[in-house]
Structure 1
Amino acid sequence: MPQAEVDTPLDNAAVEARRAAARAVQTAFRNSGVHAMLEVATTRAAPAVSVTIPLGGTSGSPFLGGTGLPLPDGAGPLQQLLEHHDIHAQVTVIELGPDPALLVALTTGDDALRLAALVIERRSDAHDAALRLSGVFADLGITEDHIYVADGAVQVGDINVQDAITLYDVLTGQRNDAAELDLGDRWDPRTWRDVEKLAELMGPVVSKAAGEPLDCIPHPACRTCISSRPHRITLGSASPQQVLLLADAISSANSSSTSGVSPPTG
């Protein structure tokens, strides 16, 4: 009776290399607006990295439709595309809850890295712009933003009021127009009128930076909801071009402020 083949475990360095490749894939998908679940194998014969992409709703559409990878009729078109890019993988359609999903079993860590590069290469202009603005916000210390892509446009918000003041001060060279507003405590429900005044101040400033009008919508928290969220301001929907102009303006103004040179305000 033949003995079953034994799959030998990988050493720590090989496993970590696979994990690093998986992280690259995860980041590439996330920045493209696609929810993907990854699993790393720790044995030699198993596929190095397995990627599961749910197809229910719109989760996979930025990557699998439009200018991204083709929406699969079965798994054939995606399998062919990966082969065309020298990505060795087995693509199958599986059931994941009530909806189907794609399972992409990548043979090696290098195949996973090539898949990550392919996802980045095919990322939409809107997702590129959203990623750029998120990075610029992070440079200012603004990390609670909600920047995402919907219907080809970038949605910018919600920004808590302290972060909104930071953004306003950078873009205006700290003109102190907002200094008189009582927004020191973002959790104080009594300051809702000041949230509206800040939005009014910000609107023309961010619109000028973006090259076209942007909505600047206040979302003050009421006495009931203030315990679960602070006052916020939403900049609204913007085209990729507007978002890139806004990101460039913020980056330039921030560089000027840190070097002691005030940006033009006229």
Structure 2
Amino acid sequence: MTENKRASYGNVSHALDILMFFIKHEDCSLGEMAERLDLKKSYLSKLLDALKDKGFIAQDSDTGKYKLGLSCLELATAFENRLDIRKIAHPHLVELSSTSKELVHLGVMDSNVVVLLERIMNQESGLRLQFHLSLTSPPHSTGLGKVLLAYSDQTMVENYLSTAKLEPSSPHTTVDPNKIREELEQVRLKGYYLSYETFESGVSCVAAPVFSRQGKIIAAISICGPTVRILSKQKELVKHLLATTSRVNSALGYDLQLSQ
């Protein structure tokens, strides 16, 4: 490798170090950054100027401190726009269905309706023919819906609970708005929801949320099966479910530790 190529590689590497530095720091002076990155001020200043020219770094005119520029946001937005939740989640859903040996769903909320994006059927699940969850369903009557409501904007949730016709889909569907609010609070405390025959008698599920990079809920994943089977291996299923949502969250750029 020639000296010019080595220098170029070093410049790019250090420029990336600068951008990564601001993941945990809102702003910083030249001197502080030079010390923390172990770089000479003169060299660091040249790199910062180059990043400023491209809009990746901005400098406060009053304090002189550096921070991330708008180009970082544009790049992140472009990346996020290219993410397809179904494409990203699909291999994880297949693995979850294989591990749990049950029916797995991926759903999103659209205009106060739960829409199924994926349904992975397992050969050993007895639900291939008897389970009739439609491609759309009211959120108060399904495990996916309860999870999506639990982490949605509370103004939207209150509007739904006060205006929607909360009809029962089964004898176990909760239709009392106050009881639904209590259930949503439990979902947030536990991080998942056990739906006991709320949509169809004899069928239960466990469901958990999927978050975007910004920490907003964008989908939910559920494992469905005959009630007796779901209850008998509930702990095991919840473990597999949360491991799956964690992997999907990571693929989407969501970091649970940073969000807490």
TM-score range, shorter chain: under 0.3
* TM-score, scaled relative to structure 2: 0.25
Higher helix proportion: 2
* TM-score, scaled relative to structure 1: 0.25
